[in-house]
Homo-oligomer: A and B are copies of this chain.
């Protein structure tokens, strides 16, 4: 039998799990303190719900669960090989949340400020840093169109990051409507917007020349390409430049208000900037999109945006919604590298006893448990070697059961 975990999944050691639990609990407490409430949705989701969602590239990454019993044999017998699955594993927490809200909204507050911290699954090609089973940490506000939601989500997410010790970051923000205004303003068709966006999203990685080359490769009109490149090559392409391309000024004014309000809340601990090339992959975003970029570690550590049409697909009535998701695995990786640990929990000590004294040992341990986490060990053959192992496992100290024995403190 195979002893390694499935490709793209990880076994977490006790030390790693302790850090992940601490991290999750700290983020959860920050979110709860800010008035968000946690819910739990199933990992299993109807395959049609998943397939028909607008998850962008994630739709190609769905793990499909096979039908069982007669339904499976029937599908095989009838050669319906595209109907072998009835359930899938969710690829994010936003689609299940939309279904959940549609199903349970009468029992929930309005607006509904919600936390989800849970696992998602994506059949990514296994490679370093790409997990197939990982944790996402989302907060969402459902049922309000107010830009105060965006402000609160950014403020709350930043609070959580700062509290777990991630401090060198900036928030980037954009609005899909502005992005579309610029693209169509340059002469692209509405229908070409998504493809142009996907290329423009790579600006950070390939530079303006790289973007131009890829747009040309894709065979768009040269005139539109040239105009677009000219627009966005303006040395500091700011909201003022952007506003020229958008008829409805609401999106521009909103961004300006969000940015100035958040700036007043940061206490100088982080910055928020308009980023004209920020796209975010998901197809369901309709307005603002935002991202947290770590300045110590290349890349995004949180991302989100407004998705005003997704819940309507389940409910048949429009429910505005906006969410922000922390890349939990990314943060956990950064903190593990930094050597962070859970300072809050009690110290661990070992209580060593002779095999026939288990009753006394448990009673003694219970006394010590008022102050420590206490592990019982039967007397080992080689005590010196055993001490070494306890130290390796980050035990704070060790006590041998018996009157008059004193606790040995390590390190």
**A residues whose Cβ falls under 8 Å from a Cβ of B:** 1-6, 9-14, 16-18, 20-21, 25, 28, 32-46, 48-49, 52, 63-66, 68, 76, 81, 84-85, 87, 89, 99-100, 102-104, 107-111, 113-114, 119, 121, 123, 132-133, 144, 146, 148, 151-152, 155, 261, 264-265, 313-315, 345-346, 348, 350, 355, 358-359, 362-363, 365, 369, 373-378, 389, 393
Contact = CB atoms under 8 A, between A and B. Distances in A.
A346 B34 CA distance: 12
A32 B345 contact: yes
Given A17-B40, A65-B89, 17 more contacts: A1-B46, A1-B49, A2-B49, A2-B99, A3-B314, A5-B42, A5-B103, A17-B37, A21-B28, A33-B346, A33-B373, A34-B374, A43-B121, A44-B63, A65-B65, A66-B66, A265-B359
A363 B76 CA distance: 61
A33 B1 contact: no
A152 B48 contact: no
A18 B37 contact: yes
- Which 5 pairs between the two chains have the least Cβ-Cβ distance? A35-B375, A9-B42, A14-B37, A12-B40, A3-B103
Contacts of A65: 63-66, 89
A132 to B, nearest CB: 7
Contacts of A346: 33
Contact of A99 (B3, B109, B314, B373): B3
A58 to B, nearest CB: 14
Contacts of A113: 375
Contacts of A152: 358, 362, 376
A44 B369 contact: no
Contacts of A315: 3
A66 B46 contact: no
Contacts of A348: 35
B87 A1 contact: no
